[in-house]
Structure 1
Amino acid sequence: MTLQPAILQVENQGPLLHSGFLSSVKRFPDNLALSIKQNEWTYTELNDKACRWASVLLGASDTTPKRVGIFAYRSLTSYVGVLASLFSGATFVPFNRNFPIQRTRMMMELADLDAVLVDKGSLPQFCEIIKNLKQIPKCVLLPESSKKDLVHIRAEVRDQTDLECAPPLVKFPFISTNSVAYLLFTSGSTGISKGVPITHKNVTHFIEVNQQRYQITDQDRFTQTFDQTFDLSIFDLFMAWGRGAAVCSMDPIHLLSPFSFIREKGITVWFSVPSVAVLLCKQNFLKQNSMPSLRWSFFCGEVLLKTTAEAWQLAAPNSIIENLYGPTELTIACTAYRWDPIKSPMECVNESVPIGKLYPEMESLILDENLEPVPYGNEGELCISGPQTFLGYWGNFEQTHTSLIEYKDDSGQTKVFYRTGDRVRYLPSGDLTYLGRLDHQVKVQGYRVELSEVEATLLRQPNVVSAVAVGWPIETGTIKGITAFVVGANLDSNTILIGVRKELPTYMVPHTVHVLEEMPLNSNGKMDRKALMKRLESEEMKGEY
């Protein structure tokens, strides 16, 4: 017997993030929707679980839940939890058990959750988090565990048995396209993570543009290389699920040599940060025609180098390579560049592949330091407006005020632009090329890192009175990690790192902490970051680093 999907309420309604999934449930009920290790689920099976979990979320409160946390990692709970949250009319908020407990607790408090789903692997950490959580979510769902595993908690707990026996949701609550589909937390300059809310209207524009561009079919199979706290994971899930295709979750270990995974799963769509490909290049693993099944290869999150694109094209000769660009605030990506083995090498600037042209309906301004437009072809800060632009940071008016600007065009119409902080210029081809950051924000392993947040954490360590963090080492134009300098009394770099690891995720923890007698200062009396970078470069030349 084929289970019937819940009926989407469409009164005064436009497309929602999960509309494509529901369409695929009807059109391709028996198609593979999700693969995790050796386990597989069809669209019908995922939909049934999501509808049951959604009915529990709705039944646990007199009103529709506003925000549902998903504390799970590459598990059935992490994926079905996204659907169940959306089905219930809530915003989903992903968390990662690989982050420090203190950081996750802070993000949960900022999100003000009504409910949270927790998988088995994340439950021990969740038990630690709730000990000092200011407000416990009203409802906790344990799809892989028993109530006995979570005791002495002031919340309604539903476990695996409850969820399996729950009646499936048969009618969804009304959801406005202006409501928030998901809330992601990124590195914040004050030491407090910034919440980025993305609406259904924001993300469905992105999905529609990319479905038109890539023509995904029900025969495609997508990798999922990204953690779900990384917004690029949304691309994999809903681009695939919108067309009856399959998502194949990858363990991080597979990224070291993905070829057997690609072959066994029949992968046709690859998406990762460029550093994955760089590592494969360094190990000389990208052999000619080693990935013949790929028809699309997408890279985003950091600079894609010409040499990397060339090597990947050799290994995946049947694939079209695209370099995507876009901060979380502009909904996953907002520009794309299609690699052409003949002409693209000549369009690269500083060995970097261009980031391409804006998506339809998105508009750009390139501004100088006085926020005035620069002449075409000159470099400046990229500012973008359009249907994918977020409305502002979660509960942070001050940060929103500095990141969003109003600009009146020649027709007199006022539009809101997001300041990316990225330096760009237009090429003669009309493509944008990325030239670097304006501030001290860097990308490490594809993750955005505010160096000031690392510095704030260093300053919280005992006896540290001054701290500077820089993106270092740099290999072939890509920042590989963080290096820190500290000043204070009786400091020990190992002790400092132990303290930092308790507060920051691994990719933000400095590889090295240099203890200095004093910080170099520039002519304005400010800490001289350039002098510190020159020191690192000098040590590297001497072979000391």
Structure 2
Amino acid sequence: MQGHDINPRVLHGGFLLAAQAHPQRPALEVDGQAVTYAQLRERVLAIAVGLMRHRSGEGPPLTAALVHRSVAGFAGILGALCSGHGYVPMLPSLPPARIVLMLHRSNARSLVVDAAGQRVLDEVLDGVTHSLLVVLSEGEASEQLRARHPRHTLIGLAELASLGANDWTPPPVGDDDIAYLLFTSGSTGEPKGVMVAHRNIARFLDVVVDRYSLRETDRFSHLFEITFDLSLFDMFAAWKVGACLCVPDVKQRLLPNQFVVDSRLTVWFSVPSAALLMKQMRVLTPGVFANLRLVLFCGEALPVGLAQAFAEAAPDAILENIYGPTELTLACTHYRWTSASLAECENEVVPIGDPFAGMQVKVVNEDLIDVAPGETGELLMSGPQRALGYWNDPERTAAAFMVPPGETELFYRTGDRVRRPLPGAPMTFLGRVDSQIKLNGYRVELGEIEAVMQREAGVDAGVVLGWPKTPAGASGVIGFVVAADLDTNGVLDRMQDQLPRYMVPRGIRVLDAFPLNQNGKIDRKALMAVLEAEDAAELG
């Protein structure tokens, strides 16, 4: 790789430059084992060369990554990027049918797989209708595996071992090329793919590195699954500055307070739910996290009590609540918690604050007209972090990315209800204006769950509600249908084959009829009131 000009504006450029500057510094700690930048780079570039040499040339410049948070998984993601492709993350724990659906939707013709992904590889390859180049980032492509899947080209470690950094040359990658394609919940019963360009994520990384003075001595937590866009902060902000990404093992995930201490973390980033566990365990004692210098929360509303407790536990840390949908590249507003913050909170939730540098904000009514300061409306945002749109879905893109009256640039409609701040005050988050909810930190379209439930139950209408409620959103969902002699357990079993585990209802209630509001529509509030009344009765 020596002598190559590395473009710092592409997503993988920061890692490659850090590997040049800090080859012997740890890039990763997984299962207690440190992996240096030099060691990781060798694996990454071997995968990149394998992809570049064996591709058919068909399909879009996208490589799927069916990996977990393993050394081989991270190498696969970076290898896909270094081969000139954007990556499409897919969790091995998803139902194989869901993985196949995303492969078909993305039309990716190459796939990187670690050991966790190999456990479902047979089912995935059986279901995919187009040929794939499959690179095993650990393990071998056995003759039996090749014989079972003759339509696909498989490459294992033995072939990758003969390749390395000296065989790699940087492929051309433009600022507007896709860095990653992330599938999120869609209201039509199928996931939608958000296209994020290299220039979008490069701008985000520049902002956070500068704002938080990130440096090579930092040690980052990594609690997010790779399909959660917040994982990109952990990975690529750390690797941009030559820092270490610390991945908790199973025990540390159950005892996250011990993970902070044992891993000597300096940067903590999570959804509030992860920290709420520590608060419920009563381990957020004053001063317990003395090593932390930066604490970030995102993905859900941040309860005031949690912010207070964590600030006391990490007294020397900056604590910020950051906000942003996937379509605006991870996060695009920030609010710093201080001793004066209590007076600025609304509904016991920490504000989302002010926009990142270069981002523009509008708060509008139903006619997309600006509301007055102090009034509530839908949040619209624009700027260099605004994503490209939805993959192969111009209709959805046009609906979500639009030019409001009086503006000349595209704004993204977040669907979030906020209060437009008065002068000198922060922006506050008040909830969703549609049927999306935050479910254990994941943004979920209830309509997608409803579509699958209706199909499997053979009914024309169904309602799914977030329940039970938590301070940060909901911890599960409950379904409602009108049907006769319905095998609800069978419906749930079939839904598990199509949806991530956290999206499968905890139960389905069969009603004689749906309650209707004055407009003749299904009254979701009435159904929620039933759940709340039952909960109150149990507590009483």
Normalising by structure 1, what TM-score?
0.95
Q: Give the match's secondary structure for 2:5.
A: coil
How much does 1:278 deviate? 1.2
1:378/1:6 CA distance change after superposition, 3 Å? farther
Corresponding residue of 1:337: 335
How much does 1:415 deviate? 0.5
How much does 1:282 deviate? 1.6
CA contact (8 A) 1:255 1:276 kept: no
1:224/1:477 CA distance change after superposition, 3 Å? closer
How much does 1:332 deviate? 0.5
- The answer to whether 1:200 aligns with 2:198 is yes
How much does 1:216 deviate? 0.8
In 1, Cα distance between equivalents of 2:459 and 2:320: 44
CA contact (8 A) 1:177 1:201 kept: yes
CA contact (8 A) 1:5 1:22 kept: no
**Residue-by-residue CA offset, 1:466-512 (whole Å, 9 max, x unaligned):** 31001111133632221111111101332222222121111111122
Corresponding residue of 1:431: 426
Corresponding residue of 1:406: 403
**Greater mean alpha carbon deviation, residues 99-108 or residues 207-216:** 99-108
- The answer to whether 1:311 aligns with 2:309 is yes
Which of these residues, 74, 81, 86, is aligned with residue 86 of structure 1? 81
Which of these residues, 228, 231, 248, is aligned with residue 230 of structure 1? 228
Q: How does 1:102-251 map to 2 (within 5 A)?
A: 102-137=97-132, 139-148=133-142, 150-151=145-146, 152-153=148-149, 154-168=151-165, 169-251=167-249
Q: Which amino acid aligns with 2:347?
A: N
**Residue-by-residue CA offset, 1:314-335 (whole Å, 9 max, x unaligned):** 2111211111100000001000
Q: How does 1:141-540 map to 2 (within 5 A)?
A: 141-148=135-142, 150-151=145-146, 152-153=148-149, 154-168=151-165, 169-251=167-249, 253-340=251-338, 342-407=339-404, 409=406, 414-428=408-422, 429-476=424-471, 478-540=473-535
Q: Give the match's secondary structure for 1:460.
A: helix
How much does 1:383 deviate? 0.4
Q: Give the match's secondary structure for 2:327.
A: helix
Q: Which amino acid aligns with 2:131?
A: I
Corresponding residue of 1:16: 10
Aligned residues: 534
In 1, Cα distance between equivalents of 2:475 and 2:437: 10
CA contact (8 A) 1:464 1:491 kept: no
Corresponding residue of 1:33: 27
How much does 1:431 deviate? 1.7
1:427/1:367 CA distance change after superposition, 3 Å? closer
Corresponding residue of 1:45: 39
CA contact (8 A) 2:476 2:506 kept: yes
1:397/1:42 CA distance change after superposition, 3 Å? same
How much does 1:9 deviate? 5.4
How much does 1:453 deviate? 0.6
In 2, Cα distance between equivalents of 1:495 and 1:254: 35
How much does 1:124 deviate? 2.6
In 1, Cα distance between equivalents of 2:533 and 2:286: 38
**Residue-by-residue CA offset, 1:226-273 (whole Å, 9 max, x unaligned):** 000000000011111111100011245523322222222211101110
Q: Which amino acid aligns with 1:55?
A: V
How much does 1:39 deviate? 2.2
Q: Which amino acid aligns with 1:343?
A: A
CA contact (8 A) 1:378 1:426 kept: yes
Q: Which amino acid aligns with 2:504?
A: V
**Greater mean alpha carbon deviation, residues 210-219 or residues 260-269:** 260-269
For structure 1, list consecutive stretches of 5 or more residues without a partner in the other structure. Answer: none
1:21/1:34 CA distance change after superposition, 3 Å? same
CA contact (8 A) 1:73 1:96 kept: yes
**Greater mean alpha carbon deviation, residues 524-533 or residues 422-431:** 422-431
In 1, Cα distance between equivalents of 2:32 and 2:248: 11
CA contact (8 A) 1:52 1:167 kept: yes
Over aligned residue pairs, what C-alpha RMSD do you find?
1.7
Q: Percent identity?
A: 39
**Residue-by-residue CA offset, 1:384-436 (whole Å, 9 max, x unaligned):** 01011112100111111211111354xxx610000000001133434211000
Which of these residues, 4, 12, 18, is aligned with residue 7 of structure 1? 4
How much does 1:19 deviate? 1.7
1:7/1:79 CA distance change after superposition, 3 Å? same
In 1, Cα distance between equivalents of 2:68 and 2:53: 25
In 2, Cα distance between equivalents of 1:350 and 1:241: 37
In 1, Cα distance between equivalents of 2:364 and 2:297: 26
CA contact (8 A) 2:90 2:227 kept: yes
1:275/1:372 CA distance change after superposition, 3 Å? same
CA contact (8 A) 1:357 1:430 kept: no
Q: Give the match's secondary structure for 1:131.
A: helix
CA contact (8 A) 1:71 1:116 kept: yes
1:492/1:61 CA distance change after superposition, 3 Å? closer
CA contact (8 A) 1:305 1:352 kept: yes
In 2, Cα distance between equivalents of 1:121 and 1:5: 33
1:460/1:92 CA distance change after superposition, 3 Å? same
